[in-house]
Amino acid sequence: MQSKTKGVVLISVLLTVLLLSAVAVLIGNNYFVSFKRAQYLEFQTRSLNIFTNIESLALKKIDNELRFNSQIHAKNNALFINDFIFDTDRGLVAGRIEDASNCFNVNALVSKSKTSFKLNKKNINAFKRLMVLNDVENNLVDEAIDQIVDWIDEDSNPRTYGLEDYYYSGPLNNPKEYTSGRMFFNINELKSLPAIRAIGWDIFSQYFCALPHNNLAININTISENKVILLSSLFENLAYDDAEYIINNIPEDGLKNFNDFQNLFPSYNLKMSQNYINFSSINFRLKTSLSFERYYSESISKIYYETNNSYITSRIYNGI
């Protein structure tokens, strides 16, 4: 009888120890999760503060540069080569300003009047050339143009190949939405248009942007080799090889004006597209990253310079 009692006590003790161990493991896991969550929230807050501070430095740097030099921005300009690098006890911070003007501004397909948006036929022709150079079928090009214009304009009358609210809020479209009745804020908004999805996103992610104005012009001093097709599309009779030759032979210090540009390439008739060529920029992109232990975050801020001041037009955060 005494032996059985001891056995029961032993089993009870072991069960109690097992239960306490399970509770300890559960508490430990919850504590670990809470600790990791607290670490992440601290990193998130730190990232946002750092991104805001780097933005302030970038805005000041751009303002100072354009206040004294608004005529020529070449690849070796201090804006683009002197990065923000800070190695702190809170992580490694890196920020870089880039020229964001070397893209096809989707908002340039229209011109804004006092009461409405009107088609910009010259820019539409450049859009068509860009699509042709990327082997896009003509019917899809026409659909893309009309759908982009219908998304921007304020009326509810669809163009020939366009779509209005009746489609985007109807049963064939998901999610349900309405046309914006404004210019595009972000190039990703184009993903809502069926014609853009049919063409494929690669073309638009590589060559297009949504700038806060209706102008279409590139900075010839900073355009890169992967934008040959873009440069070729801005001219009616500029072959791919010729556009590539021009990009590869732009001086590192840049060109000052269109006369310098034409004199450097006298065998090409460049004057017809003079309005598409700039030698400085008012559109910039700030890329900032923070690395700390196992955590990494980044921010992409679009900056627009106007009337002697630069300001942030949009932000994208990753990792937080």
pLDDT in tens, 153-170: 888 888 898 888 777 877
Percent of all residues in the chain with a pLDDT value above 90, rounded to a whole number: 70
CB 295 within 8 A of CB 166: no
Residue 2 banded pLDDT, cuts 50, 70, 90: low
**pLDDT value at position 141?**
97
Angstrom distances, CA of residue 176 to CA of 52, 101, 102, 183, 191: 34, 33, 33, 20, 14
Task: Give tens-digit pLDDT for 263-293.
Answer: 999 999 999 899 999 999 999 999 999 998 8
Residue 133 banded pLDDT, cuts 50, 70, 90: very high
CB 278 within 8 A of CB 219: yes
Task: Give tens-digit pLDDT for 20-34.
Answer: 676 766 666 665 566
**pLDDT value at position 15?**
72
* CATH class (in words) of the domain with range 106-203: mainly alpha
Which residues 6+ apart lie within 8 Å of 172 measured at CB? none
Which residues 6+ apart lie within 8 Å of 29 measured at CB? none
Distance CA 210, CA 204 (A): 11
For helices 138-152 and 121-133, give the axis angle rounded to 10 degrees. Answer: 140
Which of 25-29, 45-49, 146-150, 270-274 has the lowest average pLDDT? 25-29
CB 106 within 8 A of CB 161: no
Which of 125-129, 222-226, 306-310 has the lowest average pLDDT? 306-310
- pTM for the model: 0.85
Structure tokens given for 105? 């501004």
